[in-house]
Amino acid sequence: MGGVPKQRKTKSRQANRRMHLYIKSSSLVSCPKCAKPALPHTVCQNCGTYKGMDVVDVMKKLTKKEKKQKEREIQASDKSEARNPKSETNSNN
């Protein structure tokens, strides 16, 4: 004879136990300004932009050393964009 549970499991306890079966990984999109992965419809944690506008000043919270490093990253990304502009007219030919 098999084991018998001492108490009934409620629907909520049963659902909590099975929750890992239904969890889906969050989908990430790339930020149009810095190209880092970010959650959709939220402010980018890396550059502080939302819908093409600077909403949050991310440099404000950083220490002096982190600010310098972040500014270098931004300048490097701006230079790379200037060297390799994306134009659709060249890609169609």
* Residue 60 forms part of a structural domain: yes
Q: In terms of C-beta density within 10 A (0-12 exposed, 13-18 middle, 19 or more buried), how is residue 50 classed? A: middle
* Residue 66 forms part of a structural domain: yes
* Residue 46 forms part of a structural domain: yes
* Residue 17 forms part of a structural domain: no
Distance in angstroms (rounded) separating the CA atoms of residues 40 and 50: 10
**What is the number of domains present in the chain?**
1
User: pTM for this structure?
Assistant: 0.49
Residue-wise pLDDT tens digits, 38-89 = 899 989 888 888 888 888 887 787 788 888 888 888 788 777 767 776 554 5
* Residue 32 forms part of a structural domain: yes
CA atoms within 13 A on the CB side of 12: 0
